[in-house]
Amino acid sequence: MHLTPFPSTDQTLVAKALSGSQRAWTKLVRRYEQEVFNHALRMTGHHDDARDLTQDIFLAVFRNLPSFRGDARFRTWLYRIAKNRSIDLLRKRQKLVSIDTLGDCPELSQAGDVDHFHDNCEVIALLRLLSSEQRLILELKFFQQFTFEEIGAQMNTSSNTAKTRYYAALNKLKSTSEANHDAAQSL
């Protein structure tokens, strides 16, 4: 009979990585790599930018790993860094992209391992129309399934403010989607 060992917890892997274990660090990266890439893809809308952002996020995690105190889950701490790096990148860009400029979304079609919902050009295009803060709140709540309390903590605001901003972002997406639908109907 072959017994499979229990998977290491994030805290165990962090402790081992801090002690110099390359194997533990690699396990942490592999555990969250695809999830962080999907986050980066939704935030940037471009495959290459998402890959670069993912690397930047993990580099920042590695550099800041000694400051991880374990007060929150590692995943929550990781996404706080991902949020900050994503916002930094989006601020550098400071541009909105309309649905009309997307074409065939070639950068998304190259992301073969991203599931069908995440590579949907319309979803990416609609997310691009939101402010970086609204995009981030939708990312954290809808895709990463953080609670409003966790989102509030990550964004240094109350859970009620996070909830209000989340529903405002959903309303903006809904009105934009309806306007696009109405415009297409009138053609």
Phi/psi of residue 8, each to 5°? -70, 145
Residue 56's identity, in one-letter code, is D
Output DSSP code: residue 67.
G
Write down the pTM of the prediction. Answer: 0.62
- Can you name the CATH fold of 10-185? Rna Polymerase Sigma Factor; Chain: A (1.10.1740)
At residue 57's C-alpha, the angle toward residues 80 and 13, to 5°, is 80
| Per-residue pLDDT of the chain in tens (187 residues, 90 and over written 9) | 454 455 679 999 999 999 999 999 999 999 999 999 999 988 888 888 899 999 999 999 999 999 998 888 899 999 999 988 988 887 777 543 433 344 445 444 444 444 444 345 666 677 777 887 888 888 888 877 888 988 888 888 899 998 998 899 888 888 877 766 566 566 5
Encoded tokens for 18: 């801090």
- Calculate the CA 88 to chain-centre distance: 13
Q: Where are the domains of the chain?
A: 10-185
Which of 80, 116, 90, 120 is CA-nearest to residue 104?
Answer: 120
- Reading the block at residue 49, the tokens are 């930018």
